[in-house]
Structure 1
């Protein structure tokens, strides 16, 4: 760009700046309510000022930070956002309470939750968790919900274990022996390994029930009345994920500037690699990123009902939209 400027292109750019400002003023604003602060694993969104995926679709992206999937849905239902980045558990709970919502994109079709034990513990299977102390982020977190699902698959329940709230720094209690196992996510485990947790055994919930970890969700009214804008938003979102998968090194470098936890480029790359793996499934390889798997989501909804996490059955086919993404 500096060489082009020296050849006179700089003058052309200057002359065109009013046109650029006029174009930007014509962009349609769209607000995405997230479950998190601006962290490395969502660098595909944070990179918008640099990459312009949404701008190319005529959209001005606004990211609204949150503190969990339930928070993202509250911001959506209150009208502060157009789309929510949330987990299936929060989605099911909102539907159970009467909210009219649609899931429109599967962000992470792979289950990213796990239960981790120290290798010396001898705990290697869900059935070994009986009578043990297990850490979770909070009682309303996905770590607890997925622990319940894992126990259910082994014929156990929370009555068979002791659940301990450890907060986000849940690997310290494991190392210190305050819990026998801890429920976490794949990125949480990557960070713990980086910080020297040592040899561990990982029980992946996805090997027992592999369903989506996060979805893009909209209000039913938005789905019915604003399909063009949603299609453009999803096209841009898919393109941003394709970039993150195709250029992980560039994404890790941008995270150093854009993410609040992005100081370590090597750690950024680890987190991005983990997230990229969770963004792809056999179904998305055939039909494109974001494709919703109705069968696995229905299995999850049925499991939530059996656990008493929701009070009524949910017919997943009635609360997802399959017509907004091109195959």
Structure 2
């Protein structure tokens, strides 16, 4: 009996680290979007990741844009998500939920990379933003930074807010809404811009950089401070794996293109024509985000009275979650 008891104790002791490890593993609820290709690679190529399933697991939740994801973050339904300047401001100062930007996701117009583009039909007779008076425009989400871009450009053109009706449409359906004349202008993400323009009869009205006067680190990853404080190492491990996915995709572009095209049921030639090229958004290998490339968007939003107060975004960025 003594031998059996000793053996049992030893067996339990050997299991203790595994039990503790299982208890320490954190599930991270991440809000994502179709344009974040690296998030898809994380889902489809888990074997390239070092920490997934060990120190953390992920529950992916897809949104139409930052305007949808940020309220879910503020409500505690997710732990981290893609963010853009306007939703970030709402979370911080309207919902009053402390959040922190931990890394870059997508940069617009930087070094000649893709910049979110508002388009019209080439034969629409719309040649300037001023021509949108009395028209309907489609964006991915009401309350998104895309909507504010449109309204900033409208004000620059001398239009009032009620001169343009803005409606919401899921990004894949916006080009068809334009084609069917349900809207007369749409703001398009990739891959929908590439697909829409490949069919012809589309022309550019303006780009997001026109609203801000410069390129931007427009999309970033932000986490609730409460989650960061509770699980800092899990977030560091997640960010390290995210960057593994970014670099794998850039180094294995052909396979990444195939994965993306298959997942979203897009023609391979369309995806191959832009994904992870300069026709796509800039994704940095090191994940570093620039406060100087977010601030112009905040300044423009404040100048146009879309946000109640301006602030130094650098105070809400923490690079310590990036690999050293």
Verify same fold: TM over 0.5: yes
Contact persistence 1:134–1:179 (CA under 8 A): yes
Report the CA distance between 1:262 and its aligned residue: 3.2
Aligned counterpart for 1:103 among listed residues 101, 108, 112: 101
Measure how far apart 1:103 and its partner are: 0.9
Q: Which moved more, 1:32-41 or 1:178-187?
A: 32-41
Q: Deviations over 1:127-178 (max 9, x none)?
A: x5463624123433443122123335x3544438422426232333433455
Gap change, CA 1:64 and 1:182, over 3 Å in 2: closer
Deviations for 1:273-304, whole angstroms, at most 9, x for unmatched residues? 36984134xxx5xxx53212112222212222
3-state SS of 2:151 partner = helix
Deviations 1:237-277 (Å, cap 9, x if unpaired)? 112111222222111223366x3x23643344346336984
Q: Please tell me whether the aligned partners of residues 34 and 62 of structure 2 are also in contact (alpha carbons under 8 angstroms).
A: yes
TM-score after normalising by structure 2: 0.75
CA deviations 1:92-112 (Å, max 9, x no partner) are: 111121111111111012264
Equivalent pairs counted in the alignment come to: 296
Q: Of the candidates 219, 226, 233, which is equivalent to residue 231 of structure 2?
A: 226
Taking the aligned partners of 1:305 and 1:106, their CA distance within structure 2 comes to 22
Query: TM-score scaled to structure 1, two decimals?
Result: 0.74
Asked if residue 278 in structure 1 is aligned to residue 281 in structure 2, the reply is yes
- Evaluate the alpha carbon distance shift between residue 219 and residue 161 of structure 1 in structure 2; reply closer, same or farther with a 3 A threshold: same
| Per-residue deviation, 1:28 | 2.4
Aligned to 1:148: 151
Summarize the Cα distance change of 1:143–1:41 in structure 2 as closer, same or farther, 3 Å threshold.
farther
Cα 1:274–1:293, aligned 2, differ >3 Å: closer, same or farther? same
Please say if 1:136 is aligned against 2:138. yes
- The reply to whether residue 188 of structure 1 matches residue 192 of structure 2 is yes
Q: Pick closer, same or farther for the CA change 1:231–1:121 going to 2, 3 Å.
A: same
Give the distance between the partners of 1:103 and 1:276, measured in 2 at CA: 26
User: Judging changes above 3 Å, is the alpha-carbon distance between structure 1 residues 323 and 117 closer, same or farther for their aligned structure 2 residues?
Assistant: same
Note if 1:215 corresponds to 2:220.
Answer: yes
Q: Any gaps of 5 or more consecutive residues in structure 1?
A: 1-20
Gaps of 5+ in 2: 1-17, 110-114
Does structure 1 conserve the Cα–Cα contact (< 8 Å) formed by 2:122 and 2:203?
Answer: yes
CA distance in 2, matches of 1:274, 1:32: 29
